[in-house]
Amino acid sequence: MTTLQTSPRTTAAWPGIIEAFRSHLPVTDATPIVTLREGNTPLIPLPRVSAAIGRQVEVWVKFDGLNPTGSFKDRGMTLAISKAKEAGAEAVICASTGNTSAAAAAYARRGGLRAYVLIPDGYVALGKLAQALLYGAEVLAIQGNFDRALDMVRQVASRYPVTLVNSLNPYRLEGQKTAAFEVVQALGDAPDWLCIPVGNAGNISAYWMGFCEYHQQDRCQRLPRMMGFQAAGSAPLVLGQPVEAPETVATAIRIGRPVNWERALAVQHASQGAFTGVTDAEILDAYRFLAAEEGIFCEPASATSVAGLLKLKDQVPTGARVVCVLTGNGLKDPDAALQHNTAQQRPAVPPDPAQVAKAIGF
Ligand code: AN7
């Protein structure tokens, strides 16, 4: 009689983006690595979105909302905090529409640093605020929008011993470019289009850096068109001028003066890309579609990339491969999910099988 030897399937533990892509990043043996094993997020096919486009187009999402703090910011923050610690910093500061503050707080505290975060009063999604508070950041609400909060942070960081970790910090973009590496590794090449939400335009710049780096090293044969999408009420790069009072349901990208403006224009030019605005209604349609048709719960700002693709569907070349970046997790913004679903609200039912069956329509 033979005994079937079954052993649990194990894979080498993912080490986080710095170890995984060490030779591409500005670290040395002297850099203390502060990591939560971020990165290695899934690339998920979207068959229903492909079908909605109606021609043979392959659509994927890079779901970076599955990072340790629930957004792509973790990729940049592991490096920014590691480098701040290497330089002897004891505290970091950022302005944030929410996700940067959550990531800064988590990585700073893990590295033993203090974190100060400035947020626009009343415009940060509940989950993100909850994270920053529980991770132990000093949270300061500013009477003004994100752009004003960032002005404050820049001035404070230039005068006091505290390291700025917004995407003006070059290590942020270096870390975030690893998402492009992962996309190329998963697909075997770069996609034809990369659709991405744009706020401060840090992430679109970082992805482009990553694709160009891999292209120069012959790890991919093509470069994507970089398709950036902004909320229509908060679309300075579409309008070609700053927006003084940005408004959108996608609070993560409620930004009127993107700090990476020049970089973003350079990316658009070099990749033959475009910036396009999508309305809040289009964003929310994509947000609901992703959840109810594809089983993917992202935050409203992230759905902007899919909303944008659907808006431009007639321009997508037949046979093209498209990757949409989903930057943040849906659980970040429970209010948006509760307000913008189409579920039928029903009163509570007594715990009786007949009444339950009746209530659900049998
Ligand atoms: C989910 O957290 O700016 O164009 O302060 O949270 O690189 O700014 C967040 C930005 C897209 C835009 N999607 O990225 C912040 C912040 C989500 C985001 C963006 C953000 P960038």
CA of 2 to the centre of ligand 1 (A): 57
CA of 283 to the centre of ligand 1 (A): 15
What would the mean pLDDT of 104-118 be, rounded to a whole number? Answer: 98
Question: Probe ligand 1: pick from 97, 262, 298, max atoms within 8 Å of CB?
Answer: 97
pLDDT at 206: 98
Count of CB atoms situated within 10 Å of the CB of 288:
15
CA of 198 to the centre of ligand 1 (A): 7
pLDDT at 344: 86
Strand partners, 34: none
**Following CA atoms 235, 236, 238, 239 in sequence, which dihedral angle do they give, to the nearest 10 degrees?**
110
Ligand 1 pocket (Cβ < 6 Å) reads 71, 96-100, 167, 197-203, 252-253, 299, 301-302, 327-328
Strands of the sheet containing 43-45, edge to edge, are 43-45, 58-63, 321-326, 193-197, 225-231, 274-278
φ, ψ dihedrals at 142, nearest 5°: -105, 140
d(CA 115, CA 112): 10
Identify each DSSP E strand in the chain by its residue range. 43-45, 58-63, 91-95, 114-120, 138-142, 163-164, 193-197, 225-231, 274-278, 321-326
Q: How far is CA 64 from the centre of its chain?
A: 6
CA of 1 to the centre of ligand 1 (A): 60
- Distance between the two ends of the chain, CA-based, in angstroms? 53
What are the structure tokens assigned to 139, written together?
A: 């949270």
What are the structure tokens assigned to 7, written together?
A: 């052993």
DSSP reduced 3-state for 257: coil
| Under 8 Å between Cβ of 299 and 333 | yes
Question: Probe ligand 1: pick from 71, 118, 249, 333, max atoms within 8 Å of CB?
Answer: 71
Question: Probe ligand 1: pick from 169, 253, 261, max atoms within 8 Å of CB?
Answer: 253
- Say which residue the tokens 């490096």 belong to: 79
| Under 8 Å between Cβ of 149 and 118 | yes
What would the mean pLDDT of 342-347 be, rounded to a whole number? Answer: 88
DSSP 307: H
Nearest CA to ligand 1 atom 9: 252
Nearest CA to ligand 1 atom 13: 327
The band of 12, judged by pLDDT with boundaries at 50, 70 and 90, is confident
Query: Would you say residue 3 has pLDDT above 70?
Result: no
Average per-residue pLDDT in the chain?
96
Q: Which residues contact 295 (CB under 8 A, 6 or more apart)?
A: none
pLDDT at 224: 98
Query: Would you say residue 8 has pLDDT above 90?
Result: no
235-276: pLDDT as tens digits: 999 999 999 999 999 999 999 999 999 999 999 999 999 999
Nearest CA to ligand 1 atom 14: 199
| Under 8 Å between Cβ of 296 and 63 | yes
d(CA 105, CA 111): 10
31-58: pLDDT as tens digits: 999 999 999 999 999 999 999 999 999 9
pLDDT at 166: 97
Query: Would you say residue 7 has pLDDT above 70?
Result: no
190-227: pLDDT as tens digits: 999 999 999 999 999 999 999 999 999 999 999 999 99
Share of the chain above pLDDT 70, in %: 97
Q: Which residues contact 194 (CB under 8 A, 6 or more apart)?
A: 180, 183, 207, 211, 224, 225, 226, 227, 322, 323, 325
Strand partners, 274: 227
Of 210, 156, 167, give the one whose Cα is nearest residue 79: 167
